[in-house]
């Protein structure tokens, strides 16, 4: 630890001097690569995060020595793989503070988790005239599945509005809630604005009218300690690839009573109790919702990533990222004509912005050439773009391995790019 | 009027004489700044060519057996690319447009980078030009 602290290169006066940033950066091999001969400055962590060596090694080791199918084989490899797979389920339950690992379902990602709930909750509980509330700042993944099931079931979608800072209108929310509300679907953190939504309060109010709540945690889990019991969330989902784990695996937490009552999503092998050509009975949760051979190695990799995150500590990561957010916000505000889209008082470490006289696509294309990777476009949140009357924004999003000097490099590159464009 | 292959060769020579990528991007950006804007009335949904992240509007007309294009974009680098495409194809006979794919894109030193980016809609733009050319070719053939 002392050796690590001696290596710190954070600028003086940084409040994060105890954070082992150099050791963390060294754990992510891709950060040492160059782009067009310039050091990579990766600021698109909201889209996906890079993988630490321990996760890469874990997957490689698993495939080299331990791989087998899960819950089917009677031989040692399969039993070992099944145990490793189940260990991740336990690790995820701990990560979310879920009451039981039976309430943890592995999916392909947040998208599939939301589709699962839309289908299985929808077919079990929705009736004509029922209402589903979603917020005005949802990712398309938390809009379109609800539109589809609403159409099938004759239910209606109502939208919780937000203000010009990107803060949800809680009094509008309160008046939208009614006994007709069956489900509220809201993101914990907005991928387009960074807003941290008051989900605990929203869940409390939804429960008061008997509605269930799905929280899309795709953008919160990398930054915030989540406790599904403290939140009293009915469903909570996230994507592995955004928490430094492999692609192809995600998580749905659901309360046992709901999951047990809900019809399955996909059907096939591994989720049945008895099958005959007259009919089929389904097995218990969580397996009822995990038809087919799962993404075994990816799940095992997710377990390793969560152990890594826990080792560094989400509170320490959150503090480091809060410093980056404050520093970047301050630096970016010095740029002439730059407007930050999303100025909620509580934000996770991402900043959407537009600049007068420069299209986000031009900014992104030219920054790439300076080695700086940022996101541009509508961020799969076209309603948010419409609300702020822009067709697209540029977005920087920070992760556990970013530094103030990378923000300096970004701001400097942005200034250079803007002189070219304006 | 130089032919399409002549125009393409001229662009390749021009580009490859530029010292580095910075200069090439600057050149494209300058072309973008110089391209005349389309009137707002032409920037409607009928004339849109969808890129993933930027919009291109294109109008075509025919005169004396040649197809003329005007186009615009909301992004500056895309406007520069539009200017290059127009330099190659506008004012050419439809058969020539159809017979000459935009090879210059792969021959300029940043071609691979530019054409691989689905976001700038370059491929969609070229396809639209070819569609117009095909349409005018059929129309001209039907004329007595
Ligand atoms: C808020 C939010 N929800 C859902 C998703 C979808 O996640 P995935 O593509 O991993 O399924 C994303 C990813 O961009 C997101 O940011």
Tens of pLDDT, residues A277-329:
888 888 899 999 999 999 999 999 999 999 999 999 999 999 999 999 999 99
Considering the domain architecture, whether residues A340 and A233 belong to the same structural domain is answered as no
Token digits of residue A115 = 């589709």
SS3 category, A397? strand
Res. A81: pLDDT tops 70: yes
Separation of CA A387 and ligand 1 centre (Å): 20
What is the structure's pLDDT at A275? 87
Considering the domain architecture, whether residues A252 and A380 belong to the same structural domain is answered as no
Mutate which: B45, B56, B77, vs A, most A CBs within 10 A? B77
| DSSP H/E element including A160 | strand A156-160
What is the structure's pLDDT at A9? 44
> A296-312 and A76-96 are packed helices; what angle lies between their axes, rounded to 10 degrees?
40
Q: How confident is the model at residue A11 (pLDDT cuts 50, 70, 90)?
A: very low
- Mean per-residue pLDDT, B78-107: 93
Q: What is the C-alpha to C-alpha distance for residues A87 and A299, in angstroms, rounded to an integer?
A: 10
β-strand pairing of A41-42 with A372-373: parallel
What tens digit of pLDDT does each residue of A223-259 get?
999 999 999 999 999 999 999 999 999 999 999 999 9
What is the structure's pLDDT at B117? 61
The residue whose CB lies within 8 Å of the most ligand 1 atoms, and thus the one to mutate among A138, A192, A219, A381, is A219
CB contact under 8 A, B119 and A369: no
The CA distance from B6 to the nearest CA of chain A, in Å, is: 29
What tens digit of pLDDT does each residue of A173-182 get?
999 999 999 9
- With b for 16 or more beta-carbon neighbours within 10 A and e for fewer, the A201-235 pattern comes to ebbebbeeeebbbbbbbbbbbbbbebebeebebbb
Contact A228, A236 (CB under 8 A): yes
Choose the final residue of a domain: A310, A343, A365. A310
Token digits of residue A166 = 């990107």
What is the structure's pLDDT at A2? 39
Q: What is the C-alpha to C-alpha distance for residues A161 and A136, in angstroms, rounded to an integer?
A: 5
Res. A401: pLDDT tops 80: yes
Considering the domain architecture, whether residues A258 and A364 belong to the same structural domain is answered as no
Cα A42 → chain centroid = 17
Ligand 1 atom 7, closest CA: A110
Q: Residues of A with CB below 8 A from B52's CB?
A: 377
Considering the domain architecture, whether residues A237 and A338 belong to the same structural domain is answered as no
Res. A420: pLDDT tops 70: yes
Q: What is the C-alpha to C-alpha distance for residues A378 and A352, in angstroms, rounded to an integer?
A: 10
CA-based angle A184:A187:A190, to the nearest 5?
A: 145
Q: Residues of A with CB below 8 A from B53's CB?
A: 360-361, 376-378, 392
Of chain B residues 21-80, which have a CB less than 8 A from chain A?
Answer: 21-22, 25-26, 29, 52-55, 74-78
What is the structure's pLDDT at A5? 40
Considering the domain architecture, whether residues A43 and A134 belong to the same structural domain is answered as no
The number of the ligand 1 atom at minimal distance from the alpha carbon of A108 is: 11
Q: Residues of A with CB below 8 A from B112's CB?
A: none
Q: Residues of B with CB below 8 A from A376's CB?
A: 53, 119
Q: Find the CATH number of the domain harbouring A21.
A: 3.90.1150.10
Separation of CA A263 and ligand 1 centre (Å): 24
Res. A1: pLDDT tops 70: no
What is the structure's pLDDT at A282? 86
Separation of CA A55 and ligand 1 centre (Å): 21
Choose the final residue of a domain: A267, A285, A310. A310
The number of the ligand 1 atom at minimal distance from the alpha carbon of A113 is: 11
What is the structure's pLDDT at A26? 98
Contact B4, B97 (CB under 8 A): yes
What tens digit of pLDDT does each residue of B34-83 get?
999 999 999 998 998 876 678 899 999 999 999 999 999 999 998 999 99
* CA proximity to A111, closest of A226, A265, A244: A265
- Of residues A273 and A166, more confidence is placed in A166
* Beta carbon of A187 within 6 Å of any ligand 1 atom: yes
The number of the ligand 1 atom at minimal distance from the alpha carbon of A241 is: 10
* Beta carbon of A195 within 6 Å of any ligand 1 atom: no
Considering the domain architecture, whether residues A340 and A299 belong to the same structural domain is answered as no
CB contact under 8 A, A359 and B117: no
Separation of CA A241 and ligand 1 centre (Å): 10
- Mean per-residue pLDDT, A7-23: 63
Contact A163, A194 (CB under 8 A): no
Residues paired with residue B76 on neighbouring β-strands, in sequence order:
none
Q: Which residue is closest to B29 within chain A, CA to CA?
A: A421
For chain A, how many structural domains are there in total? 2
Q: How confident is the model at residue B116 (pLDDT cuts 50, 70, 90)?
A: low
Contact B122, B28 (CB under 8 A): no
- Mean per-residue pLDDT, A250-275: 93
Considering the domain architecture, whether residues A205 and A305 belong to the same structural domain is answered as yes
Res. A70: pLDDT tops 50: yes
ipTM of this predicted structure: 0.87
The CA distance from B119 to the nearest CA of chain A, in Å, is: 8
What is the structure's pLDDT at B115? 57
What is the structure's pLDDT at B13? 94
What's the pTM? 0.92
- Of residues B20 and A3, more confidence is placed in B20
Q: What is the C-alpha to C-alpha distance for residues B90 and B84, in angstroms, rounded to an integer?
A: 10
Considering the domain architecture, whether residues A330 and A389 belong to the same structural domain is answered as yes
The residue whose CB lies within 8 Å of the most ligand 1 atoms, and thus the one to mutate among A48, A190, A375, A380, is A380
Q: Rg of chain B's alpha carbons, rounded to an integer? A: 15
SS3 category, A147? helix
The CA distance from B76 to the nearest CA of chain A, in Å, is: 6
Considering the domain architecture, whether residues A300 and A171 belong to the same structural domain is answered as yes
What topology is assigned to B4-142 in CATH?
Sufe protein. Chain: A (3.90.1010)
Q: How confident is the model at residue A330 (pLDDT cuts 50, 70, 90)?
A: very high
Token digits of residue A254 = 């659901």
* Beta carbon of A111 within 6 Å of any ligand 1 atom: yes
Res. A12: pLDDT tops 60: no
Token digits of residue A381 = 């949140």
What is the structure's pLDDT at B122? 79
Considering the domain architecture, whether residues A190 and A209 belong to the same structural domain is answered as yes
- Tell me if chain A has a CB within 8 Å of the CB of B114: no
What is the structure's pLDDT at B111? 61
The CA distance from B75 to the nearest CA of chain A, in Å, is: 5
Q: According to the 3-state scheme, what is the secondary structure of chain B?
A: CCCHHHHHHHHHHHHHCCCCHHHHHHHHHHHHHHCCCCCHHHCCHHHEEECCCCEEEEEEEEECCEEEEEEEECCHHHHHHHHHHHHHHCCECHHHHHHCCCCHHHHCCCHHHHHHCHHHCHHHHHHHHHHHHHHHHHHHHHCC
SS3 category, A309? helix
Contact A183, A133 (CB under 8 A): yes
Q: Specify the residue for token string 């999003």.
A: A397
Token digits of residue A184 = 């509220």
Q: How confident is the model at residue B113 (pLDDT cuts 50, 70, 90)?
A: low
CA-to-CA separations, A197 to A215, A220, A399, in angstroms, rounded: 10, 10, 19
Average the pLDDT over each of A392-396, B21-25, B131-135 and give the range with the smallest value: B21-25
Choose the final residue of a domain: A277, A310, A343. A310
* CA proximity to B66, closest of B43, B86, B91: B91
Considering the domain architecture, whether residues A224 and A365 belong to the same structural domain is answered as no
Look up the domain containing A340 and give its range. Answer: 2-52+313-421
Q: Find the CATH number of the domain harbouring A136.
A: 3.40.640.10
Separation of CA A194 and ligand 1 centre (Å): 13
CB contact under 8 A, A420 and B29: yes
Q: Give the mean pLDDT of chain A.
A: 94
Of the listed B1, B23, B52, B138, which one is catalytic? B52
Res. A4: pLDDT tops 50: no
The number of the ligand 1 atom at minimal distance from the alpha carbon of A112 is: 11
Cα A130 → chain centroid = 28
Percent of chain A topping pLDDT 70: 96
* Beta carbon of A197 within 6 Å of any ligand 1 atom: no
Segments making up each domain of chain B, as ranges? 4-142
**Signed CA dihedral, A6, A8, A12, A14: sign only:** negative
Token digits of residue A50 = 């890079």
Residues of A noted as catalytic: 380
């Amino acid at each position: 630890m002392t050796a690590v602290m001696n290596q710190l290169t954070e600028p003086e006066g940084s409040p994060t001097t105890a954070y082992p940033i150099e050791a963390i950066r060294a754990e992510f091999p891709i950060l040492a690569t160059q782009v067009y001969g310039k050091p990579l400055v990766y600021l698109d962590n909201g889209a996906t995060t890079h993988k630490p060596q321990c996760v890469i090694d874990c997957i490689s080791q698993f495939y080299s020595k331990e791989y087998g199918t899960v819950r089917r084989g009677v031989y040692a490899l399969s039993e070992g793989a099944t145990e490793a797979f189940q260990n991740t389920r336990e690790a995820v339950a701990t990560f979310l503070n879920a009451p039981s690992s039976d309430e943890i379902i592995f999916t392909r990602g947040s998208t599939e988790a939301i589709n699962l709930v839309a289908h299985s909750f929808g077919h079990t509980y929705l009736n004509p005239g029922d209402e589903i509330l979603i917020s005005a700042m949802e990712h398309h993944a938390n809009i379109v599945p609800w539109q589809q099931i609403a159409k099938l079931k004759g239910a209606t979608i109502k939208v919780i509005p937000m203000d010009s800072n990107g803060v949800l209108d809680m009094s509008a929310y309160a008046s939208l809630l009614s006994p007709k509300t069956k489900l509220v679907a809201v993101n914990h953190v907005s991928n387009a604005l960074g807003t941290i939504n008051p989900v605990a309060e929203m869940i409390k109010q939804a429960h008061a009218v008997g509605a269930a709540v799905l929280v899309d945690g795709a953008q919160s889990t990398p930054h915030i300690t989540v406790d599904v019991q403290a939140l009293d969330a009915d469903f909570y989902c996230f994507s592995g690839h955004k928490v430094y784990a492999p692609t192809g695996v995600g998580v749905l937490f659901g309360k046992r009573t709901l999951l047990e009552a809900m019809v399955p999503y996909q059907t096939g092998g591994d989720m049945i109790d008895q099958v005959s050509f007259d009919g089929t009975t389904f097995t218990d949760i969580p397996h009822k919702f995990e038809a087919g051979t799962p993404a075994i190695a990816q799940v095992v990799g997710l377990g390793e990533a969560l152990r890594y995150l826990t080792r560094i500590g989400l509170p320490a990561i959150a503090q480091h990222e809060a410093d980056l957010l404050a520093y970047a916000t301050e630096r970016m505000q010095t740029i002439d004509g730059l407007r930050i889209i999303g100025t909620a008082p509580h934000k996770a470490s991402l900043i959407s912005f537009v600049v007068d006289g420069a299209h986000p696509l031009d900014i992104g294309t030219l920054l790439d050439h300076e080695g700086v990777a940022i996101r541009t476009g509508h961020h799969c949140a076209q309603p948010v773009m419409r609300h702020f009357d822009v067709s697209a924004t540029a977005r920087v999003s920070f992760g556990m391995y970013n530094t103030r000097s990378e923000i300096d490099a970004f701001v400097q590159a942005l200034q250079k790019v803007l002189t070219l464009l304006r | 009027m130089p032919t399409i292959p002549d125009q393409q060769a001229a662009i390749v020579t021009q580009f490859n004489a530029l010292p580095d990528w910075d200069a090439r991007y600057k050149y494209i950006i300058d072309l973008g700044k110089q391209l005349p804007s389309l009137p707002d009335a032409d920037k409607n949904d009928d004339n849109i060519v969808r890129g993933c992240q930027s919009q291109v509007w294109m109008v075509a007309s025919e005169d004396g057996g040649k197809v003329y294009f005007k186009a615009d974009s909301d992004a500056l680098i895309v406007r520069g690319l539009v200017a290059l495409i127009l330099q190659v194809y506008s004012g050419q006979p439809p058969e020539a447009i159809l017979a000459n794919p935009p090879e210059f894109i792969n021959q300029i030193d940043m071609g691979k980078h530019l054409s691989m980016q689905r976001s700038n809609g370059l491929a969609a733009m070229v396809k639209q030009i070819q569609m117009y050319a095909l349409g005018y070719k059929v129309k001209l053939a039907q004329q007595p």
